[in-house]
Structure 1
């Protein structure tokens, strides 16, 4: 009987602590306008590249933006943004994210590792705790957007972030055109619907290659599969991002693609996708992109 009483007390204390922490998350998230997840049902579709360039596009448009990388086992955002080796700041009661520019703050477990080659060997509960800390303890401040780069699939990380956020605005689902990727994306859309998370749109990445010399287009991975799938699943289609070797160059060098190559077809496709996604902010996004090329 005594053991049962102790167990009940411990459970009550645990539940009370959980309520306190969730209230802290709500308080921080209340200062953020829109919270958008970038998801994919399958790895290798360029999801992190999309998340980074979406965040960069918004920040260039003057939107106060946060980029949260919750890929615990494979954090690639620090590399893509040339932030490897950067350290987060600290306050008595908060963690300060890394600031890329005046309008973009970034947080990733990559900033907490002693080396870029360190492996994070964690089970679900520790990953859940880390994601909770990103939301509860990171001082994001006032933001217009928080873009969240989630690892592929429908496992611990996307489930944890959706449940902890409680009121995320929705998800952008990234795919490539071939059927092997589309079948997994369909599961991702079903996952979102099961958790009452709106699907803001599907983005088809690696959609054709346009030769920079002759201009001829080659559909290496087919084309149009993402749009057809979006129509069949009754979700918006945000556009197609063509293959561009300069995207790889930009990611490897840590120079944001949409900023460095604004006149390219892929950068224009990113801009159009952002317009479809953010709606009323479309004019400022386009104006910023055009000014940078003058």
Structure 2
């Protein structure tokens, strides 16, 4: 094969190299500067990273080298790595935003299914459930984003094994870390350990700061085209729940409760807030429903009936009853979601059923207003 014919083959191979943060081919992102093949069959590829110190640099270089060396007829690969200029980065961010100004892409009219996961009380396993649902949806082929909106009690980074992960900033655009196919962002990823802002730091913010934080997560973080966006809300009906209702009136709410009557009564209030902000309750999940016994019975440590009570009060379906599970707790502590690590666990099975129902909901324009008018 003439060496000149190898260049388009190398370029075609590079089109299969995906930026691990942006999740698009590097050829579409303007990261491939030039390709050439010398007389000895060595392919020289010049690539441009988005920023200095790009955390994905090693993986991109490895994937580029593997792709090039896998082309029949190529004897070897030589990489020249540099960084985009300010103008090239500006062009990239404009391309990713589709030429639009900085806007929040998940509001009314968006094709993305938005789920706000809430609860009345803390400690009902809402964050663990949200993380596992997000991972389960991604495992079913959906493009999934997860916003840790529980600013004061953030836990999503630990649940997804992203402790220490930092988002990448490309000018005014934030690229979220990815775990198990889920793009996730949390205030915990922005705390500076060099200033004593570690995992145990307290975020002492009030209403306006909380609102701006959620707005920035939804506007400046580049999630790309998502099938589903999940928000892990703080318990109760405070500032963040109200802000999410204002910013995302199209979001569907998933209410998490335990079987205990006292917890259920409070959970109803968090679901009732959805109606006040124009949101719809998608369904109710009863967590910690009971502890499975060796004889097949269920030990109801926290009573029974809480999920059904909340569902009835909110006129919404009971999506599932997740039993107590040691494996679920261990997976959360280790950052390894149970839906992947132990799919046969009873808790994992129920979460999978909920994810199956969510994943089969089509993205369509039915019932949505379109930004067009007849000519």
TM-score, normalized by the shorter chain, greater than 0.5: yes
Structure 1, unaligned stretches of length 5 or more?
1-21, 282-294
Indicate which of 172, 190, 201 corresponds to 1:112: 190
Q: Deviations over 1:198-235 (max 9, x none)?
A: 00000000001003x44432111112321233124311
Indicate which of 246, 249, 269 corresponds to 1:163: 246
Indicate which of 254, 268, 292 corresponds to 1:186: 268
Q: Deviations over 1:128-169 (max 9, x none)?
A: 11111101111111110001100000001111122112422x
Which residue pairs with 2:171 in the alignment?
Answer: 92
Structure 2, unaligned stretches of length 5 or more?
1-100, 193-197, 363-375
Structure 2 length-normalised TM = 0.65
Q: How many pairs does the alignment contain?
A: 258
Report SS of the residue matched to 1:56: helix
Q: Structure 1's 113 and 29: CA in aligned 2 closer, same or farther, altered over 3 A?
A: farther
Report SS of the residue matched to 2:137: helix
Q: Structure 1's 94 and 61: CA in aligned 2 closer, same or farther, altered over 3 A?
A: same
How far apart are residue 278 of structure 1 and its match? 4.3
Query: Is 2:150 aligned against 1:150?
Result: no
2:281–2:316: 8 Å Cα contact kept in structure 1?
yes
Distance 2:281 2:139 in 1: 24
Report SS of the residue matched to 1:181: helix
Query: Is 2:328 aligned against 1:247?
Result: yes
2:102–2:220: 8 Å Cα contact kept in structure 1?
no
Greater Rg over alpha carbons, structure: 2
Query: Is 2:127 aligned against 1:44?
Result: no
Distance 1:177 1:33 in 2: 31
Which residue pairs with 2:65 in the alignment?
Answer: none
Distance 1:231 1:277 in 2: 20
1:1-294 alignment, distance < 5 Å: 24-26=103-105, 33-101=112-180, 103-114=181-192, 115-168=198-251, 170-211=252-293, 213-280=294-361
Structural RMSD (CA): 2.1
Structure 1 length-normalised TM = 0.83
- Of structures 1 and 2, the one scoring higher in RCO (CA 8 A, sep 6+) is 1
Distance 1:275 1:94 in 2: 32
